[in-house]
Structure formats: structure tokens, C-alpha cells
Amino acid sequence: MSFITRFAPSPTGYLHLGHAYSAILAHDAAREAGGKFLLRIEDIDATRCRPEFETAIYEDLAWLGLRWSDPVRRQSEHFDDYAAALETLRKLGVVYRCFLTRKEIAAASLSAPHEPGEAPDGVIYRGPAQRMSGEEEESRIARGETFAWRLSIKYSQDLLGEDFARLVFVERDEGSNTERAITARPELLGDVILGRKDTPTSYHLSVVHDDALQGITCIIRGQDLRASNHIHVLLQKLLGLPTPVYMHHHLLTGPDGKRYAKRDRSLTLAALREAGVSPAEIRARIGLSV
């Protein structure tokens, strides 16, 4: 099987050294394997994404010396695809409309994730005690109440039976070819959101859809997204999609010992480039050989 990997940033800020590490790691892995490196722009959140950040992504990556295979996939151009995937899940009966407000969800949730980043939005919602009746749904919709589509762990478990406990993914260690099989435990993340009124998809749904569509065989990304795998493997099973190999790299920290974040403006690649830092120095700074 040929090797295809990707870098999938969201244009919600300028790229920093942590992004450079992720992108170079994926790029170099593809080169070494004689495979392909793709770029995907994950711009489903219209309120946070900005064109200037997207432009900067292309500039920063090209400046680092990275080359990607065309076409670049921009998720905002493919909402129909994600709606179709959601419809498939709806037909399977594994998603439901959730009318709870954020406040109500927070009150009904377990706020402490098992490990950092386990629930990327910080809350784990275990789902309603019972399914809402069709009449109640209709009357709430008629009243103009908004809702989110959530993936039900319980209904997925009911549908998949014993296969639910057999969901596995292969994880590769950073910096070696050691691989191990991990049993997925989607219940750790609870009933995640797959679509909202304002954004008719979610990170989980669109990333799983696109990784399959683009034939990604190995996903290389930061540790902060590791917990999402547990949900992604379930979605792959439900949608009949293949499960790639995963490699989650350590998260880079700055001089203050904190993880790089988009808010650290002084450490963006754009700022470092303007300050005269060279791409080779960037590689050295993040511990990668030229």
C-alpha cells in the first residue's frame, strides 16, 4: 500500500513552531516512504477562520520548503459531503437531535476528562436517559428551538453489538516504527456533536470523512488530538471507512515550558520569518535534522 499522509490546519490563527513540527514530520515521512503529502484546510468554523490565516499557511509551509500534492482540500467547499455522511448515520439510527443549551450540557456533564485533551471541548456528555419522542422533537422544532446532532454511544453499541468492543486502531510510536494495536473506547468521549445549525458538521465528522476520501494511510498529528481517535474509529466503522495508522507526536513547549498556542503572536512562523530566522534554524530549534 502506498503511503499518504496530510497536514490539516485550521486557519484560525497564524501557524507556530508546533505546527511547523507537525507539518515537517508528516512531509518528511511521506518523502522517506516515497509517498504523498497532502494539505487540507479545515475551515468549517466560519466565525473563527480568516482568509489571511489561510494565505499565511501556504506562505509559511512553502517558506519551510514543504511541497504538497494538489489539490488542496478546503472543507468549507464540501459541506454537502458532510451532510451526506450525517444522513447515513441518521439512517443507521445512531445520531439524535440534542436541544440542550451549553449551560444545560455543562450541568449534565462530567467535567473532568480522564486525560488531558480527552474531550477537546472540555465536556463529556453521556447522552439522555431516554430517546425523545417524535412529537416532542417536532414541537420543539416548530417553536424554533435549535439543536445539535450528537452521535449516541448507546445506539452505536446497540447497532454494532460485540463489534463495538472490538474497535481497534494501530498506533505508531514517534521516532520509531514500533506499532501497537489499541482498543478504542469511544465511551470515554461521550456523545460528541457531529453537526449544528450554524456549522452543519464538526471536526470529528469532517476529518474522518476527508481522511478516507483522500486515501490517508497514516495520520501524523499532535498528542492533543489522540483521544479523538476513539471516536474516529467508531465513525469509520459506522460509515464503512478504513482506519489509517496513527502517530501522535509530543507537543512542543516554549521557553516558558508552556505549549505553543495560536495566541503566542511573537512565536508565529510569520513573525520568526520576518525577524530573519531561516527555515534551517526553525528545523534545528524544534529538534529536526535538515
42 binds ligand GLU (CB under 6 A): yes
Min separation Cβ 222 and ligand GLU, Å? 7
202 binds ligand GLU (CB under 6 A): no
23 binds ligand GLU (CB under 6 A): no
Going through the chain in order, the beta strands assigned E by DSSP cover: 4-7, 36-41, 69-74, 95-98, 148-151, 168-172, 179-183, 193-195, 218-222, 245-249
225 binds ligand GLU (CB under 6 A): yes
Stretch that binds ligand GLU, among 8-16, 151-159, 188-196, 274-282 (CB under 6 A): 8-16
Of 256, 270, 259, nearest in space to 222 by CA: 259
Taking the least distance from each CB to ligand GLU, the nearer of 9 and 113 is 9
Residue 150 near residue 113 (C-beta atoms within 8 A): no
Burial class for 227, CB neighbours closer than 10 Å (0-12, 13-18, 19+): buried
Min separation Cβ 43 and ligand GLU, Å? 9
Name residue 76's amino acid: S
Among residues 150, 221, 226, 248, the one that binds ligand GLU under rule CB under 6 A: 221
Stretch that binds ligand GLU, among 4-12, 45-53, 128-136, 152-160 (CB under 6 A): 4-12
Min separation Cβ 87 and ligand GLU, Å? 23
Q: What are phi and psi of 252, to 5 degrees?
A: -75, 145
Q: Treating both helix axes as pointing N-terminal to C-terminal, what angle do 17-33 and 51-63 enclose, rounded to 10 degrees?
A: 50
272 binds ligand GLU (CB under 6 A): no
**What residues are paired with 168 via a beta bridge?**
183
Collapse the DSSP code of 230 into the 3-class scheme (helix H, G, I; strand E, B; otherwise coil) and give the result: helix
What is the C-alpha separation between 49 and 14, in angstroms, rounded? 11
What is the C-alpha separation between 107 and 120, in angstroms, rounded? 17
The DSSP output letter for 219 is: E
Binding mask 67-86 for ligand GLU (x = CB under 6 A): --------------------
Taking the least distance from each CB to ligand GLU, the nearer of 187 and 210 is 210
Residue 246 near residue 256 (C-beta atoms within 8 A): no
172 binds ligand GLU (CB under 6 A): no
Among residues 5, 9, 82, 210, the one that binds ligand GLU under rule CB under 6 A: 9
Among residues 4, 5, 8, 268, the one that binds ligand GLU under rule CB under 6 A: 8
Taking the least distance from each CB to ligand GLU, the nearer of 103 and 263 is 263
Taking the least distance from each CB to ligand GLU, the nearer of 45 and 137 is 45
Q: Which residues bind ligand GLU (CB under 6 A)?
A: 8-10, 42, 207, 221, 225
